């Protein structure tokens, strides 16, 4: 069982399922209006409505793919397990907690670097600048107390 565990994730106000329902509602309203104008002779409105819905669909699809992105960091005995989930793809990195060095972000948009025995991973994508610095200090303290 993990001694310490952190889950860093996006702050999403809408789930992918809710997003699909919103998209369906927008499509039905837009296409209804476009059909009305098409029946009255303005056929090009339908083309613009379809183009608009395609662009909105692509934007919503991109948002939906990344809505569940997260970083899971667990300090288990002598191992620091880092799981990066982005667009439903999992990347797992195991670092020796005795040799792991935590590099706080240097720039305001920089990420926290974790490095041990030549393996490097960056975390903190979903945190603000101040939360990144706070998390880096907390992680350093947790790693130091584990030795």
Q: What is the pTM of this model?
A: 0.76
Q: Which DSSP state fits 68?
A: T
- pLDDT band at residue 136 using 50, 70 and 90 as cut-offs: very high
Residues 74, 79, 83, CA angle at the centre, nearest 5°?
45
Length of the chain, please? 147
pLDDT at 11 over 90: no
| Domain range list for the chain | 74-146
Q: Which of 119, 131, 102, 94 is nearest to 9 (CA)?
A: 131
Per-residue pLDDT tens digits for 26-76: 999 999 999 999 999 999 999 999 999 999 999 998 888 888 899 999 998
**Residue matched to tokens 């998390």:** 135
Beta strand pairing call for 70-76 and 101-103: unpaired
């Amino acid at each position: 069982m993990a001694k310490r565990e952190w889950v860093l994730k996006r702050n999403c106000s809408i789930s992918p399922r809710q997003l699909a329902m919103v998209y369906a509602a927008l499509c039905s309203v837009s296409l209804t209006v476009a059909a009305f104008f098409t029946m009255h002779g303005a056929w090009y409105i339908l083309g613009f409505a379809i183009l608009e819905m395609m662009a909105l669909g692509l934007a919503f699809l991109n948002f939906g793919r990344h809505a569940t992105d997260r970083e899971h960091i667990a300090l288990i005995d002598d191992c620091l397990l880092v799981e990066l989930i982005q667009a439903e793809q999992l990347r797992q990195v195991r670092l020796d907690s005795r040799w792991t060095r935590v590099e706080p972000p240097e720039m305001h948009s920089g990420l926290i670097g974790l490095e041990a025995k030549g393996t490097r991973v960056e975390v903190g994508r979903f945190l603000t600048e101040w939360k990144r610095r706070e998390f880096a200090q907390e992680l350093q303290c947790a790693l130091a107390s584990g030795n």
